[in-house]
């Protein structure tokens, strides 16, 4: 940890710390800004004071220019932030592109941007999933248009399948939400999943924060489809909606039990024309199944609704249920508790990602690792044995 972050974290003033290690505030400022490297005597005092949390390596790494932003770059990011807060879709799009970027420089720029967010606590994050063809985008557009008429600002993070070669979005949800995409009170962002489990795009959480900073009240996170890893979306939203197709009772066994357990609302979509009666029957089937399992709506189990996204029939009733669910969660202090738990989980996931990046980058530079890779390619050793050897190398590095 660099010394500046340590002092902020511990709430220690620079003057107090300077006196503790017997240097002038001016000298300390030079250490903090990377202008000067502390001598051996001063460095020993810093390490002792911080119990080794700050080391010599931290001063060396802090002097790498890639980890620093120039005054011009900081001004540009702060200008971008101002535009985002004013609702500029152009700059919101630029910011999310930067957040999603895998370039090291963009990572540093986006971290500086996020560090300056005020954090909008009045937003509502809604996760939506369902099998392909269930009509997720049509449902979001129908509900989104209705919400904009109530003077709400609606944003959609639609996680698309990625092209394996380019990493870019293939489908493009803007083409499937024509009315919402041209609405001044709405913003749609198709994001490539880049091969991540469950289609939850890399940096989706940070993108949510960016949209909240721009003043969006309602943020939908639409995922590709139902799968074991799809439930990851539940860790970044306040309410989780599962869309289902009208079907006979025999098909109820096809839906994953874990997903139903996580769902806050079950919605039978396409309840129109020839499928209307089938939709009504499916609602009753799920209600009975939930009753048998002991998960009743009034006990925080999922309510079951049907709707037609094309005609918007049943959409208002679903939104009323969403609002009642959130009101109840806030009254019982469960809303804030979930947000806090999500923050802690995001923290450790972020630490895990950064740790993996550091470990992988260092291992890939190790000559022994290259030898092990070649031996596996030539079938001289098994990948199990190779992984054990690499783990031994890892233990020596750290």
| Tens-digit pLDDT profile for residues 148-172 | 999 999 999 987 554 444 444 434 4
Cβ atoms of 135 and 198 within 8 Å: the answer is no
Quick one: pLDDT at residue 319? 96
d(CA 51, CA 82): 40
Helix axes 71-85, 89-100, angle to 10 degrees: 130
Q: Mean pLDDT across the stretch 359-367?
A: 82
Q: State the pTM of this model.
A: 0.78
**Distance between alpha carbon 145 and the CA centroid of its chain, in Å?**
25
d(CA 123, CA 326): 11
Cβ atoms of 307 and 139 within 8 Å: the answer is yes
Residue with the bigger pLDDT between 300 and 183: it is 183
Six token digits for residue 277: 């009666």
d(CA 240, CA 223): 11
Coil/strand/helix, residue 394: helix
Shared domain check, 135 and 109: no
> Structural domain tally of the chain?
4
Backbone angles phi, psi at 101, to 5 degrees: -65, 145
Cβ atoms of 108 and 212 within 8 Å: the answer is no
Residue with the bigger pLDDT between 91 and 351: it is 91
Shared domain check, 204 and 139: yes
Shared domain check, 348 and 315: no
In sequence order, what are the beta bridge partners of 136? none
Tens of pLDDT, residues 242-288: 998 897 444 554 555 667 778 899 999 999 888 899 999 889 888 88
Shared domain check, 232 and 358: no
d(CA 267, CA 128): 10
In this predicted structure, the answer to whether residue 311 has a pLDDT above a threshold of 80 is: yes
Which of 65-74, 115-124, 308-317, 385-394 bottoms out in mean pLDDT, i.e. has the lowest?
65-74
Shared domain check, 273 and 380: no
Shared domain check, 264 and 184: yes
Shared domain check, 159 and 77: no
Shared domain check, 140 and 93: no
- Per-residue pLDDT band for 226 (boundaries 50, 70, 90) equals low
Quick one: pLDDT at residue 335? 94
- Per-residue pLDDT band for 296 (boundaries 50, 70, 90) equals low
Shared domain check, 256 and 311: yes
Range of the domain at 94: 71-115
| DSSP H or E stretch at residue 304 | strand 303-306
Residue with the bigger pLDDT between 318 and 292: it is 318
Read off the CATH number of the domain in which 50 is found. Answer: 1.10.260
């Amino acid at each position: 940890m660099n010394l500046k972050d340590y002092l902020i974290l511990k709430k220690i003033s620079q003057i107090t710390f300077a006196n503790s290690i017997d240097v002038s505030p001016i000298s300390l400022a030079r250490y903090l800004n990377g202008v000067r490297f502390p001598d051996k005597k001063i460095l020993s005092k810093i390490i002792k004071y911080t119990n080794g949390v700050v080391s010599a390596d931290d001063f060396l790494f802090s002097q790498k220019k890639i980890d620093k932003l120039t005054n011009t770059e900081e001004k540009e990011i702060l200008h971008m932030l101002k535009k985002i807060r004013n609702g500029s879709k152009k700059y919101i799009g630029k910011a999310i592109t930067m957040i999603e970027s895998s370039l090291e420089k963009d990572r540093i720029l986006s971290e500086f941007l996020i560090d300056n967010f005020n954090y909008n606590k009045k937003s509502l994050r809604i996760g939506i999933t369902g099998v392909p063809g269930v009509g997720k985008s049509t449902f979001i557009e129908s509900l989104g248009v209705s919400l904009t008429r109530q003077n709400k600002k609606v944003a959609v993070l639609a996680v698309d399948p990625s092209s394996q070669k380019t990493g870019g979005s293939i489908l493009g949800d803007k083409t499937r939400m024509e009315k919402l995409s041209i609405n001044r009170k709405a913003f749609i962002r198709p994001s490539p999943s880049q091969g991540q489990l469950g289609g939850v795009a890399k940096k989706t959480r940070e993108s949510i924060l960016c949209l909240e900073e721009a003043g969006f009240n309602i943020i939908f996170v639409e995922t590709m489809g139902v799968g074991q890893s799809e439930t990851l979306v539940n860790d970044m939203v306040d309410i989780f909606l599962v869309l289902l197709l009208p079907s006979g009772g025999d098909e109820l066994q096809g839906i994953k039990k874990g997903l139903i357990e996580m769902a806050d609302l079950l919605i039978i979509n396409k309840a129109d024309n020839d499928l209307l009666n089938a939709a009504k029957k499916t609602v009753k089937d799920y209600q009975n199944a939930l009753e048998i399992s002991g998960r009743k709506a009034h006990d925080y189990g999922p309510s079951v609704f049907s709707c037609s996204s094309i005609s918007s029939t049943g959409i208002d009733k679903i939104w009323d249920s969403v609002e009642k669910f959130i009101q109840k969660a806030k009254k019982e202090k469960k809303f804030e508790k979930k947000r806090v738990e999500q923050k802690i989980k995001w923290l450790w996931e972020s630490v895990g990602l950064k740790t993996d990046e550091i470990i992988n980058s260092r291992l890939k530079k190790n000559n022994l690792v290259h030898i092990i890779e070649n031996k596996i390619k030539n079938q001289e050793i098994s990948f199990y044995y190779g992984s054990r050897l690499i783990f031994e190398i890892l233990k020596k590095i750290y």
